[in-house]
């Protein structure tokens, strides 16, 4: 249980960080395709990393500037096709599908702790080193290009970071959990605040809260963790949107009220 708690917290921090840039760059499909494709290709957990990296490279190289949804879809189906081939060659693999897809976080062993932590630190270090150019090229790609940042190379590096996060998380928590965290938490955070650094911090906090609540609820009710992570993520986004809408109407009301007084 303690292992599950620790691993989940590490995963949440990485998902909050990497996911923030995923949402900023509008790469939700990539964040879905890389974990999903790599899980299908893995006839054992050891191949997840190889598939994730190859998929990320394929998407980066095939995709044209700023638009890679078709390339992403193609890489995803190619990886899934290879996965179907491997599954058909190795029948005993079937029961593992559920655990790779939805995760078995409550069954995490102590031996999985160290590699997960090492990969997590690597992810955080890469993001920290690239923080400013990555932020600029995500928010204003044209300005970044004008300032001499190779946005194409930045894209590849970013995809590699997503692949790295996938390698570390899929064998432990499953593709569904990592995807929900990478999308739901940062999307909610961005509805709460416009300031990038604050949104990044908030994204990590929300991801941590989601995971902790999900594990506690799952422990209480015996329902799968993935269910709670998926629904709480979506709920947090709905709350974020409601908050943004409420603030907007409050602002408009605030602007409207003094007007009749001054007129």
By CB under 8 A, name the binding residues for other proteins.
23, 25-29, 31-33, 64-67, 69-70, 72-74, 76-78, 80-82, 84-85, 87-88, 94-95, 97-98, 101-102, 139-140, 176, 179-180, 183-184, 187, 190, 194, 223-224, 226-231, 233-234, 237, 241
CB of 206 to other proteins, least distance (A): 13
CB of 21 to other proteins, least distance (A): 13
CB of 45 to other proteins, least distance (A): 18
CB of 141 to other proteins, least distance (A): 9
Closest CA relative to residue 22, chosen from 212, 166, 168, 121: 166
The DSSP result for 137-190, as a single string, is HHH-HHHHHHTT--HHHHHHHHHHHHHHHHHHHHHHH-HHHHHHHHHHHHHHHH
Pick 166 or 180: Cβ nearer other proteins: 180
Distances (CA, A) of 261 to 19, 97, 249, 255: 46, 66, 19, 11
Pick 77 or 110: Cβ nearer other proteins: 77
Pick 167 or 236: Cβ nearer other proteins: 236
In this structure, which long-range contacts are made by residues 85-90, counting pairs with CB atoms below 8 Å and at least 24 apart in sequence? 86/41, 86/43, 87/40, 87/43, 89/43, 90/43
Which three-class secondary structure state does DSSP give residue 67?
strand
Pick 115 or 248: Cβ nearer other proteins: 248
CB of 249 to other proteins, least distance (A): 15
């Amino acid at each position: 249980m303690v292992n599950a708690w620790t691993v989940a917290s590490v995963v949440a921090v990485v998902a909050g960080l990497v996911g923030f840039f995923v949402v900023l760059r509008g790469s939700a499909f990539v964040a879905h395709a890389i974990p999903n494709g790599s899980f299908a290709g893995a006839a054992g957990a050891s191949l997840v990393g190889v598939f994730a990296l190859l998929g990320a490279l394929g998407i980066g190289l095939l995709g044209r500037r700023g638009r890679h949804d078709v390339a992403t879809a193609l890489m995803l189906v190619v990886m899934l096709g290879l996965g179907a081939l491997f599954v058909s060659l190795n029948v005993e693999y079937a029961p593992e599908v559920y655990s790779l897809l939805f995760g078995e976080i409550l069954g995490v062993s102590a031996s999985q702790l160290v590699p997960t932590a090492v990969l997590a630190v690597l992810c955080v270090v890469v993001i920290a080193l690239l923080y400013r150019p990555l932020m600029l090229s995500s928010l204003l790609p044209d300005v970044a290009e004008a300032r001499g940042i190779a946005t194409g190379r930045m894209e590849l590096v970013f995809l590699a970071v997503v692949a790295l996060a996938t390698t570390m998380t899929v064998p432990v928590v499953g593709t569904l959990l990592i995807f929900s965290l990478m999308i739901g938490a940062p999307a909610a955070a961005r509805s709460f605040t416009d300031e990038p650094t604050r949104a990044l911090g908030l994204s990590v906090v929300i991801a941590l809260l989601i995971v902790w609540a999900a594990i506690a609820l799952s422990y209480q009710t015996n329902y799968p963790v993935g269910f709670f992570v998926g629904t709480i993520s979506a709920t947090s986004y709905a709350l974020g949107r409601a908050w943004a809408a409420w603030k907007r109407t409050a602002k408009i009301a605030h602007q409207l009220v003094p007007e009749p007084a001054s007129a």
